[in-house]
Copies of this chain bind each other. A is one copy, B any other.
Amino acid sequence: MPYITGYVNLSCLRRSGSSPQFISQRGTHMGYPTVTYKEEGMREGMQIEDASIPVEDKVRLLDALSETGLKHIVVGSFVSPRYTPQMAEIDDVMARFTPKPGVRYTALALNERGRERAQQYSPPLDTGENSTYRPTLRCHMCDVFARRNTNRSQAQEMADWEQIVSTAKALGATEAGIGTNASWGSNFVGKFSNADRMDIFERQHAMWDEAEIPVTAVSLGDPMSWCMPHEVKSQLVEIKSRWPDIRDFTLHLHNGRGMALVSAYAALETLDETDTLNLDGTIGGIGGCPYCGNGRATGQMPTEDAINMLEEMGIDTG
């Protein structure tokens, strides 16, 4: 067993048990990444459920989630009830829930109107004013899904990049991000390879290089559940190898094929203590995108299982 190093992850020793729970096989003394966990049940969970769930039930769930110890909870979306009827009562939920000190509450807003609506509830809502300004270039890997999901083409998404970069430069951004959605595959056009993703990432990264703004983060969305653990691993390895400055990784993994938690574990084993891994999930694994073309056969990483695994691994979830 040439790859046993006898390394003991010290963070595990806080836990009970008479033997070390983690022996590195990496050949180096690497620990796990820092993990931040975002509970998406009130947004991505709700948006695929029946639109008639009473406000009081939503408030009760949100209040219960606040008591679990979760550090970051997404409360919903400020979007048009025409497209997402489940969010029609977001204002009532905001007015009636009981914020818990120490929990970060955020909401999704896709345009200026949404951001203005969200601003009314800040605080307790964290609308991002105090967050690090890290402009990000993003697009969907699949044009069909881009149009269904956001009513814009992939080419339109890419056409925005120049403006995002010039704004970032004008505002003096000191770091930037790159990202894809529908990263590992699409129900409309099939699977994407590391090479497909790297082609997009190279183009995004080159634009930041040109602007002399360092790229420190990458996000990979998987709304249609195409992730596989070995492919998540090889993609992360390739990104880290190509751009060692990238230390912040966001994985938004869906679970329609049962691979979200497995892929998250693969990421935990691939990244190391110099990295941050941002994971999203939902209570009970509910949720999914209504525009994925497979009805309700979707779902996210179940928060209860994910947190249990992370805690058992001795990883603080921030």
Interface size class of A (residues with CB under 8 A): 35 or more
Encoded as 1 (CB less than 8 Å from any B CB) or 0, chain A from 217 to 236 comes to 00000000000111101100
A198 to chain B: which residues have CB within 8 Å? 19
CB pair B23–A26 under 8 Å, yes or no, is: no
> Complex: how many Å from CA A308 to CA B4?
30
Q: When A228-B309, A262-B261 are in contact, do A195 and B25 touch as well, CB less than 8 Å?
A: no
A258 to chain B: which residues have CB within 8 Å? 261, 302, 304-305, 308-309
Q: Which residue on B lies nearest to A259, using beta carbons?
A: B309
CB pair A3–B27 under 8 Å, yes or no, is: yes
Closest CB in chain B relative to A311 CB, distance in Å: 10
For window 293-307 of chain A, which residues contact chain B by CB distance below 8 Å? 302, 304-305
Question: How many copies of this chain sit in the oligomeric assembly?
Answer: 2
Q: Residues of A at under 8 Å CB distance from B? A: 1-4, 16-23, 25-28, 30, 191, 193-196, 198, 228-231, 233-234, 237-238, 240-241, 244, 257-259, 261-262, 265-266, 269-270, 302, 304-305, 308-309, 312-313
